[in-house]
């Protein structure tokens, strides 16, 4: 459904979270009691069947706010697209993380 405003923006890239990670790291530094924060990321793949993806899609982002009729239309379109590529696909995920070890207090 390329004309849908939800899909025109696209998903943020992992580097799009750099400002959020920097703010989190700054907050950790300000609180004190922690070593210097580290930022890192890791990637993994998860295969989905059509039904698995359509079951969870309504819980993602903007989909939670759609009127039922519009959500049904979007799910039908996405289901048809998954069927067109064989009924399964693999989603690539990236976790962007900020960590900091506690110091002795």
Report pLDDT digits (tens) over 30-88: 999 999 999 988 999 999 999 999 999 999 888 888 899 989 998 999 999 999 999 99
Domain ranges, residue 84: 5-99
Residue 31 placed within a domain: yes
Count: domains in the chain: 1
pLDDT, residue 14, reads 62
- Please answer whether residues 94 and 41 qualify as being in contact, where contact means their C-beta atoms are separated by less than 8 angstroms: yes
Residue 39 placed within a domain: yes
* Three-state SS at 45: strand
Residue 105 placed within a domain: no
Residue 61 placed within a domain: yes
| Residue position matching structure tokens 């697209």 | 81
**Averaged pLDDT, 100-105:** 87
Residue 104 placed within a domain: no
């Amino acid at each position: 459904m390329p004309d849908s405003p939800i899909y025109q923006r696209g998903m943020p890239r992992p580097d799009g979270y750099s400002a959020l990670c920097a703010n989190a790291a700054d907050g950790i530094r300000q609180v004190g009691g922690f070593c210097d924060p580290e930022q890192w990321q890791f990637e993994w793949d998860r295969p989905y069947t059509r039904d698995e993806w359509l079951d969870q899609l309504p819980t993602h982002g903007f989909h939670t706010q759609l009127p039922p009729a519009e959500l049904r239309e979007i799910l039908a379109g996405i289901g048809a697209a998954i069927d067109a590529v064989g009924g399964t696909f693999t989603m690539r995920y990236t976790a962007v993380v900020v960590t900091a070890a506690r110091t002795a207090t």
